[in-house]
Amino acid sequence: MSSIDIPLEAYLTIAAALFCIGVWGLINSRNAVRVLMSIELMLNGVNINLMAFSSYLDGTEIRGQVYAIFVITVAAAEAAVGLAILLSLYRNRDTVDMERFNLLRW
């Protein structure tokens, strides 16, 4: 009924764009907070994919929505732990520059 005239590929395109922008930000960010934001962007891109497939191909058994709920849960846990690690690093190294977090580098 609804959302028939918009093709599935349109949603997949948006999801792919969001994911690729997230990957780009993940590689090129110097600030550690921005790296975490890029990861959230990538997770949102994946979620759009799941929701689009759930609505277009699996309308009665909405398993994509179930998976999206789990992804949102894991993303919330990841954000909390990631920011706690970031605060701990900031207290020890006095910076948030990714290039200077090289304590474990060989």
Partner 1 sequence: MPPLAEITQLIVFGVLALAVVVGALGVVMLPNIVYAAFLLGGVFLSVAGLYLMLNASFIAAAQILIYVGAVNVLILFAIMLVNKKEAMGASPGVGLRRVLSTGVCIGLFALLLRVAFSTPWATPGPAAIGEDAVIRLGEHFFSDYLLPFELASVLLLMAMIGAIVLARRDVLATDIGTGESVDQGLIEKARTPLLMEKP
Residues 2-31 that bind partner 1 (CB under 8 A): 2-14, 16-25, 27-31
Using CB under 8 A as the binding rule, whether residue 41 contacts partner 1 is answered as yes
Angle at 54 between CA 53 and CA 59, to 5 degrees: 120
59 binds partner 1 (CB under 8 A): yes
Q: Under the criterion CB under 8 A, does residue 66 sit at the interface with partner 1?
A: yes
Q: How far is the CB of 25 from partner 1 (least distance, A)?
A: 3
CB of 12 to partner 1, least distance (A): 4
Distance CA 75, CA 67 (A): 12
* Residue pointed to by tokens 């207290």: 91
Which residues fall within 8 angstroms of residue 88, CB to CB, at 6 or more apart? none
